[in-house]
Amino acid sequence: MENKKLCARIGVSIITLCLIIGLFYIPYSFANQPCFKCCGSGIWHVDNKMPCSGKSCNYCIKCNGCGGSGQISDSSKRCESCKGLGQVHKSSKKVCIGAGCNYCSSCKSCKTKGWVRG
C-alpha cells in the first residue's frame, strides 16, 4: 500500500514538473512572425507592371527574405532603410512602381531580405 502511494506521488511530481517546464518553453515554430517582404506568402512578385495571376505567375519567385517559408524569426526587425521591401528607391520621382522600378537599388542594410536581426 505504501509502495503504491509512493509511486503515485512520484508520478504526480514528474507530471507537475513537466507542466511547469512546458509553461516556460515556447517551441521554435511558435516564435515566428510573417516575413516583411512577402507578407508571409513565401513568394515575391518581381514585376509590378504585370498583375499577378496567382501561384503559377511567371513573375513570382521564392522570397529571399524568408527562403520561401513565409516566416522569419520573432526577434527580427523590419529594415528601416527599405521599409521591409529589400530595395531602396533613389530618385527625385516620388512614384515607385515596385519591384520592376529602374530607380530602385538593392538595400545594403538588410542585403535585400527586408529584415535585420533584432
d(CA 114, CA 54): 22
Check residue 14 and give its pLDDT. Answer: 76
Mean pLDDT, contiguous 10-residue spans, the chain (118 residues): 70 68 54 86 77 72 89 91 85 67 85 88
Alpha helices, DSSP H, located in 1-118: 2-24
Check residue 118 and give its pLDDT. Answer: 73
The length of the chain in residues reads 118
| pTM (2 d.p.) | 0.62
Check residue 61 and give its pLDDT. Answer: 85
